Amino acid sequence: MLPSKIDPVALDQHLTEAADRLGTPAYVYATDIVEARLADLRAHLGRWFAISFAVKSNPNPALLGWMRDRLDYLDISSGGELVLGRQAGWDPARISFTGPAKQEFELRDAIDCGLGELVLESLREAELADRLAAEAGRIQPVLIRIAPDRVPKGFGDQMAGRPSPFGIDVEDAAEILPRIAALPNLRIIGLHIYSGTQSLKPDAICENWRIFMQVFSQTCAALDLRPEKLIFGAGLGIPYHPGDQALDLAAIAAEIGPALDTFRADPRLAGTKLVLELGRYLVGPAGWFVTRVVSVKQSRGSRIAICDGGLNANLAASGNFGMVLRRNYVIHRIGGDEAGTRPEEKHDISGPLCTSIDKLGGGVMLPRLDEGDLIAIHACGAYGPTASPLYFISHPLPREVLLTGGQLQDATRITAR
């Protein structure tokens, strides 16, 4: 367990204050928990890895600004995220840019601003970047993203081991990588692999990283490359659902540490920085989605709480963001059972939309919900507002709140047009 779990009573006070001050639905992000998770990562894996944050998991500008002096690197996946990172004060030299469909205007802006590393995902992208770098009079540092031929079982999403838009298939690398290396305005400084996400299985994570090390070693030898940087897509998952077990970083470090030590002992890697790229692992458990019960009804034996925020504001919690079989997130009634005066009952929890898929929970045991009550959905610090169809049916947009040291800050990024 992490050392900075917020006391449940204090948490409910903060969530209630956020709802009363700013309205609902709302996301509340506790930076103290993010900081504790970062410290935990550094304590167990910092011997080998620097840390890069994937902006796509939570691009809130206030959060990115808070991270600026606490994390090593930022990874973006669009020109828009580059703008957000720079507006939050990030030095472009500390930013990498991944993504399978980078457009010319995005690449031009990234190269012109002095981007740290462009992560190349195809020969087409490399040739375009080479031309733009020549026009800018720059030699652009690049990493080449490799897609391994297998991903261990145990990952929520797989981006390699099958046909994929991401990176250069490892079986094609021998033909494509020398052609990239020959481009005069690009300088290959390393490699990148991100092949699986959301794993709660330490053995699968360690096996995946062993695959990375094998691919990195073979590719560096083939290119005669002494890399400055190698990026490991973390794949570290978080518990979303009742019964899920959090990862034990100490166990992961103990299992993979000897292999990492052997890998680092390769003379070719003497000056190499290893970077762990992650997003939801850092911020997911630090966020709550707060929504208010607008109406309660009985329908054919079920008690249904209908809330002011649903899949329009939180697609992930509705089960429509990559979940094969819908499972409830951890949910609680803010205020608890009020000293036993509210017995637990089963509730179906829905949002305000005119569609049957707008469901935030099914058969959830909670203290009896009534109109006006607040509920909090846990593990909502990643893939929240920006991963949701906010404008569907034009309900009010969710607020975003930063909770730091017990103080609330309105951090709402997206407002009605």
Q: Considering the candidates 113, 206, 220, 354, report the single residue annotated as catalytic.
A: 354
Q: Can you spell out the DSSP letters for 100-132?
A: TT--HHHHHHHHHTT-SEEEE-SHHHHHHHHHH
Contact 152, 195 (CB under 8 A): no
Using alpha carbons only, give the angle 84, 274, 107 rounded to the nearest 5 degrees.
Answer: 35
Q: Which 3 state secondary structure label does DSSP give 179? A: helix
Q: Which amino acid is at 161?
A: G
Angle (nearest 5°) at CA 264 between 172 and 118: 45
Is 380 known to be catalytic? no
| Pairing between β-strand 359-367 and β-strand 407-410 as defined by DSSP bridges | unpaired
Six-digit token pair at 412? Answer: 């709402």
Q: At what angle do helices 202-223 and 173-181 cross, to 10 degrees?
A: 60
**φ, ψ (nearest 5 deg) of residue 281:** -60, -35
Whether cis (ω within 30° of 0) applies to the bond prior to 25 is yes
List residues with catalytic annotation.
Answer: 354
